[in-house]
Amino acid sequence: MRLHRLITRGIATIAAIATIACTSEQTTKEDDNIPTKPIEEMTYSPEATSFELWAPTAEAVVVRLYDGDTLAEEVAMTKADKGLWEATVTGDKRGMYYAFQVTVDGKPLKETAGIFARALDVNGNRGAIIDLKRTNPKGWERDSSPTIPTSEMVIYEMHYRDMTTHASAGVKHPGKYLGMAERGTRSLEGMATGLDHLVEMGVTHVHLLPTADFGSIDESRPTNQYNWGYEPKNYNAPEGTYATTVADPEARIRELKTLVKAMHDAGLCVVLDVVYNHTTATENCGFELTVPGYFYRMREDGTFADGSGCGNETASEKPMMRKYMVESLEYWVKEYHIDGFRFDLMAIHDIETMNLIRKRLEALNPNILLYGEGWAAAAPLYDEEKLAFKRYTYRMPGIAAFSDDIRNALRGTLDLSEGGFIHGVKGNKEALKFGIAGGVEHPEVNHTEEAWCAAPTQHISYITCHDDHNLRDRLEHLSPEATEEERLKMAKLGHLGVFTSQGIPFIFCGEEMYRTKLGEKNTYNMPDKYNAIDWSLKHTYNDLVEYVKGLIALRKAHPAFSLGTAEAVREHLSFIENDNEAAVGFVLHDLEGIDTAKSIVVLLNGAREEIEFDIPVGTYKWVADGDAIFVKGIGRHDATDGRITVAPCSGVILVAE
């Protein structure tokens, strides 16, 4: 099994970037042979099944049909236009499997399912001949995506096993697509788990960790193996590990669609985590087994460039790879009704491709949500100024990037060498203000990094994700002398910073119930002991659960927390001056026509002592403090002298109606 990352993911600035090599943009033989028609490697009907494969450098191609593991038929494919090879087999072949074998330079390559297999055998070495219409669950034709206002968006990142495999989850299908589709699941304490928990929390977009077929787990053996899935093998079929019947190629498709429909019926949008930046070992991937050396960036010595830290990096700038990515994503939207995509190591992809993706997907779903990691694990082998690095997010309208600015400001650095604002550490004030403003240019923000967002909706505000230590483990490592009560106050303050920012808030599954990964950082292939959520935590730490739930409700109640444009942020958001380096306050003002409130005051105190803030004179509803959220307000605060004192490691939100 290969390492998930050779270099820790999530690094926005890599020293090696300064010396990035550029690839040649010369037109190749392959680039001169790009079909205009969509990629359709297998087309089924009861009368005949047609096959085609793009292999412009091949000397010969055969397609083999298998009845189970038994070779039933071999057909030589005929060379056609634009690098395509074609063949048709008569009769009803549904239920059989197929594999292509390409000969290049006199050498027959290993069999492959191709690059666009939509259904697979166990472990994805062969494609399956199916009728896609038979994979639709009941009511699928009436399924529709919820329409969520941008001001209400909240992303919840989850892994199928994390959410459902612990006995306390109370699901019938732990670790499976159907497990996440179940309604009415309860913990031993009688509290909502799984899908019902997401609805209860009020999140709007559920970010599913990699769901396309990956090469990390042997599907042929019933196992409790765990993997995040960042090792893609086949991009257009669901992973079999999460299906109840791995050997049934239609089951995994039907069960994933069942999950999507269940989430849509519950009012939730579905986001897939996609990993087009690299593949599993190249010798096992359809890219290299159909057109060797084309789909990847290659060094001059013929070795694979490795900006992913996983052994290779794909070449999105090449016409067929660009076409492939676009059509693959379109397929997920059309066939599975997916509502958004998160791009792993997005900076390996070029900006032109990302903008084309946005344009094509918005034509299918105007509300599509697109965001990604604006960094790479190492320097990609391409012109840095043409790649989707975080600092160029403003050049990709409609696409957002994770903000390590607000992440590091709130909780500290990746290497755990120092804490952040919630620990009372100085030096994070301007970075936090930058994150609160949604990463756009603001005259009152003096951050060392230039504004990289053209709109605050391009800024994903978060404090943790699946990568790196989760928040509880970080707090216990960095503040071992603190009591649990004190650490919970720090967690609440961190969430308060995320959910009052102008960006789109993002939360990692279980953080709202103070989950732990037992101090481990990179749990990508570790047992459920480290990854599964113990739902008894929801009962133990229900105060934190209710706090995060309240922040989500508060954000939805006040559209001013998502003003939408950079101009509106600069017009309506002003920061409150305070000399303390661990104190940040701001006012959302002149909100007539935007919010039911006249103005909103947010005060964040990361210091370990009380801090006095100057605020506009007026009468306010008290809607949040460091302990609880009161969406409708609890009591009034008369700031007749324009001053208020905020408790240590705490936050306050006041609303002037």
User: CA neighbours within 13 Å on the CB side: how many for 362?
Assistant: 10
DSSP string, 586-634: EEE---TTT-SSSEEEEEEE-SSS-EEEE--SEEEEEEE-SS-B-TT--
Is 373 a catalytic site residue?
Answer: yes
Kindly compute the dihedral angle of the four CA atoms of residues 607, 610, 614, 619, in this order, to the nearest 10 degrees.
120
Kindly compute the dihedral angle of the four CA atoms of residues 335, 336, 339, 345, in this order, to the nearest 10 degrees.
-100
Q: How far apart are CA 582 and CA 26, in angstroms?
A: 53
Chain center to CA of 182 = 22
Q: How far apart are CA 397 and CA 374, in angstroms?
A: 14
Of these residues, 344, 350, 595, 625, which one is catalytic? 344
CA angle 201, 205, 206 (to 5 degrees): 85
Q: How far apart are CA 7 and CA 348, in angstroms?
A: 15
Is 512 a catalytic site residue?
Answer: no
Look up tokens 């009511």; give the residue: 139
Q: Which of 214, 331, 217 is nearest to 279 (CA)?
A: 214
Centre a 10 Å sphere on the Cβ of residue 540 and count the other Cβ atoms it contains.
13
Q: 416 — alpha (psi -120 to 50), left (phi > 0) or beta?
A: left
Q: Which of 181, 200, 177 is nearest to 190 (CA)?
A: 200
Tokens representing residue 200 in the block: 């209860």
Look up tokens 């370990």; give the residue: 608
Whether 452 and 401 have beta carbons less than 8 Å apart is answered as: yes
User: CA neighbours within 13 Å on the CB side: how many for 318?
Assistant: 25
Q: What is the C-alpha end-to-end distance of the chain, expressed in Å? A: 58
3 state DSSP class of 32: coil
Tokens representing residue 371 in the block: 């965001």
Tokens representing residue 439 in the block: 């990463």
Q: Which of 326, 341, 278, 249 is nearest to 42 (CA)?
A: 249
Look up tokens 């949040």; give the residue: 624
Query: What secondary structure letter does DSSP report for 192?
Result: B
Q: How far apart are CA 438 and CA 257, in angstroms?
A: 34
Q: Which of 354, 347, 389, 298 is nearest to 21 (CA)?
A: 298
Of these residues, 250, 373, 404, 512, which one is catalytic? 373
Q: How far apart are CA 126 and CA 112, in angstroms?
A: 6
For 177, phi and psi rounded to 5 degrees? -55, -45
Whether 500 and 561 have beta carbons less than 8 Å apart is answered as: yes
Catalytic sites, residue numbers: 344, 373
